[in-house]
A and B are shown apart, each in its own frame.
Chain A
Amino acid sequence: MKPPTETDLLPDSAEAAAVENPAVGIDQSAGNFSYNMEYAFDAGTGLSEDTIRYISSVKKEAPWILEFRLKALKKFLSMPMPTHWATKDLENIDFQKIRYYLSQGQKPKRTWDEVPDDIKKTFERLGIPEQERKFLAGVEAQFDSEAAYSNIKEIVSKQGVIFVNSTEGLREHPELFKKFFGKVIPTGDNKFSALNSAVFSGGSFIYVPPGVKVAQPLQAYFRINAENFGQFERTLIIADEGSEVVYMEGCTAPKFSTSTLHSAVVELVALKGAKIQYITVQNWANNVFNLVTKRGIAHEDAEIKWIDCNIGSRLTMKYPGVVLKGERARGEVISIALANDGQHQDTGAKMIHAANNTTSNIVAKSISVGQGRSTYRGVVHIPKHLKGCKNNTECDALLINTNSRTDTYPAISVRGDKNSTQHEASVSKVSEDMIFYMQQRGLTEGQAMSLAVNGFINDLARQFPMEYSVELKRLIDLEMEGSVG
């Protein structure tokens, strides 16, 4: 391999910021660098059956997986783009110009010392090894298509917890994998879940045995390094009866001039009495199409909570969902979206009640800045035959500058009179007077806007693990500083 040549795309000041490690490593200014890599495995540009056969063969997959992929490709090709309800911007994705698989190998390293230098340097700059030492039970670091590093602390693996990337998961735990894979989100759920099912690579596979409560969070970090690339990780988390796990993911990519596609599928299964908390703080560069399908099934007395922070990207379409399958199951989506100039955050939540006495809670806060656009799109479904089900939905939008746009499509269908729902929505503005008031106390315009935004999401940010709320605040500070003319 050639020695890495750094191609830094930012002026000096941002470079200086990149040197100090951010707390959780999703700082975009720190993320805006890339290495010129030669990839040992490259599926080339464009999508065809051959692309899929290539991916499957380098991964040495079982025949059923190749079958699964090829069927998914057919499904993908047969489905129309959802431009009619979402946005015409989707038409600008050229699937034949994307690279679907790039890697240095299919087996992640267990120690950072074994990770190739340039990849190791990437994650060091993002602060990942340091965080791992400090507060994580395990880390998986994906670089383009495959995990370069994956490790779990011995104390956790001794409890029987499995935390590997999906390529390894399929190879080493096929029975467990197959039992749940594609069951929460079927291939044809939407066009992008079909695409992911055809070309998926990387992502995490987690299994937590009955009664095991993983004390520290497991973290995955998804890094896009290559231009014109599509990242299609596939994550499956199974929390067995009475177990508990917190999973966090962070994502970054450098700012390229051409568009990049990130299209993940994440499936969660919380068996009886289990608890899964899934936290995302992502800060994509504003050329990334981020089209992700996330859903969990909560069995009896189980609880699934999605905490989803979307900052950056050109277009994000993401509606984490919970199917409340067992009695007294609980589902929650806490979502924060920040749409800056040239960005569209189309986010929301889905709660499908399928058993009695299930409860769901959705709190969505969006911030639109300048020309930024944010949309809340939600589905809450409680069928007539159920009783004792409850939903609470709260959507708050904050507008900064008059051009910002916000739309709310709550779509709550609650049938029958034995269930209850509560829905509140608000739109507020950061007024010129409010900014002046803060400036009069000595804050710059950027600091003032940042403080207003942090105040707006304060009640939600408090629910995050410390490291992540600190990081979120930093990201907002950076976004707001950058949005001042």
Chain B
Amino acid sequence: MSQLEIKNLHVSIADKEIVKGLSLTIKGGEVHAIMGPNGTGKSTLSKAIAGHPDYTITSGEVLLDGVSILEKEADERARAGIFLAFQYPSEIPGVSIANFLRAALQARLADGEEIDASGYYKRLYAKMDLLKIDRKFTSRAVNDGFSGGEKKRCEILQMAMLEPKVALMDETDSGLDIDALRIVADGVNTMRSPELGVLLITHYQRLLDYIVPDYVHVMYDGRIVKSGDKTLAHELEAKGYDWIKKELANAKA
């Protein structure tokens, strides 16, 4: 069983501190939800863990199965088992999803080893069936001209194929109508296993009706300010974030 440990993490962009001391441990099989108002640093947290070069980790640790990943390049982190489902996935014109995924899997093989093409397509189609994705989908160029929902589905398909140890899912529910949301949630639920830890970043409670989290954390101003179980999400939905802000202000006073 794998484990991602985030210890007292501080992250800056262009000398501005965004994540201000965040600690969280995600074990295999667990789903953690992080909720919080816009601009609070949720995407920054996920991109910093994934190794985006714009984000500087000024202090703290991120360990995957006890080994620090902070010295590793983004691609090494990915191959070590970190997957980021992007809030805004990039378009790659001219590169089909099938070829892209094949290249990504090929990159995980040792030098000189070739991916088995027929085995690859068999697996790809099986995952697509599981996620109720049309066969034609993977011949389209990655995210090129995709609707919001298609982009998110493309992320989920990649996640299913790459079988990460830890998935950081950034607002995977945004831009989805209720049917698409259900399909995406079903996909994540079928992937839930002791082998996979999930960090679900979301603005809304809605997604959590479909992917029921083990833990819910509230992030505010670069920190986790409150943690609880799924009932915390309902509370947030009912009361909004102002309630948290007030509590914090009172605590400081």
Binding site for B on A (CB under 8 A): 428, 431-434, 436-445, 447-448, 451-452, 454-459
Contacts and interface: CB of A to CB of B under 8 A. Distances in A.
Nearest to A460: B94
Contacts of A458: 94-95
11 contacts: A436-B74, A436-B90, A440-B83, A440-B84, A441-B101, A442-B105, A442-B162, A444-B75, A451-B95, A451-B103, A458-B95
A44 to B, nearest CB: 47
Contacts of B18: none
B100 interface: yes
B90 A437 contact: yes
B108 interface: yes
B108 A455 contact: no
A231 to B, nearest CB: 34
B93 interface: yes
Contacts of B92: 434, 437-438, 451-452, 455
A428 B92 CA distance: 11
A324 to B, nearest CB: 30
A443 B86 contact: no
Given A447-B103, A451-B103, A439 B93 contact: no
A439 B95 contact: no
A241 B141 CA distance: 42
B50 A440 contact: yes
Given A437-B90, A437-B92, A443 B52 contact: no
B53 interface: yes
A451 B52 CA distance: 19
Interface of B: 50-54, 73-75, 78-79, 83-84, 86, 89-95, 100-101, 103-105, 107-108, 141, 158, 162
B197 to A, nearest CB: 17
A442 B84 CA distance: 11
Of all A-B residue pairs in the complex, the 7 with the closest CB atoms, nearest first, are A455-B94, A455-B95, A458-B94, A437-B90, A439-B74, A441-B104, A439-B75
A440 B74 contact: yes
B94 A442 contact: no
A442 B90 contact: no
Nearest to A446: B75
Nearest to B95: A455
A451 B97 CA distance: 12
B187 to A, nearest CB: 17
A433 B55 CA distance: 12
A457 B94 contact: yes
Contacts of B83: 440
B100 A441 contact: yes
Given A441-B158, A443-B103, A455 B78 contact: no
A386 to B, nearest CB: 36
A440 B95 contact: no
Given A432-B54, A434-B91, A454-B95, 11 more contacts: A434-B92, A439-B73, A439-B75, A439-B78, A440-B78, A440-B83, A442-B105, A442-B107, A443-B75, A447-B103, A455-B141
Contact of A442 (B52, B89, B108): B108
Contacts of A433: 90
A296 B144 CA distance: 38
B107 A443 contact: yes
B117 to A, nearest CB: 14
Contacts of A432: 53-54
A371 to B, nearest CB: 21
A447 B75 CA distance: 10
Contacts of B93: 428, 455-456
B144 to A, nearest CB: 9
Contacts of B50: 436, 440
Nearest to B168: A440
A455 B141 CA distance: 9
A436 B95 CA distance: 16
A458 B74 CA distance: 26
A72 to B, nearest CB: 44
Contacts of B73: 439, 444-445
Contacts of A459: 94
A447 B74 contact: no
A443 B89 contact: no
Nearest to A433: B90
Contacts of B104: 441-443
B124 to A, nearest CB: 14
Nearest to B107: A442
Given A436-B53, A451-B100, A441 B94 contact: no
Contact of A431 (B74, B90, B100): B90
A434 B100 CA distance: 13
A478 B163 CA distance: 29
A457 B94 CA distance: 7
A435 B84 CA distance: 14
A45 B51 CA distance: 56
Contacts of A445: 73, 75
Contacts of A438: 90, 92, 100
Contact of B79 (A434, A436, A442, A456): A442
B78 A437 contact: no
A318 to B, nearest CB: 24
Contacts of B107: 441-444, 447
A454 B94 contact: yes
A439 B89 CA distance: 13
A444 B77 CA distance: 11
Contacts of A439: 51, 73-75, 78
A448 B103 CA distance: 9
A180 to B, nearest CB: 39
Of listed B51, B75, B90, B141, residue having the most chain A CB within 10 A: B75
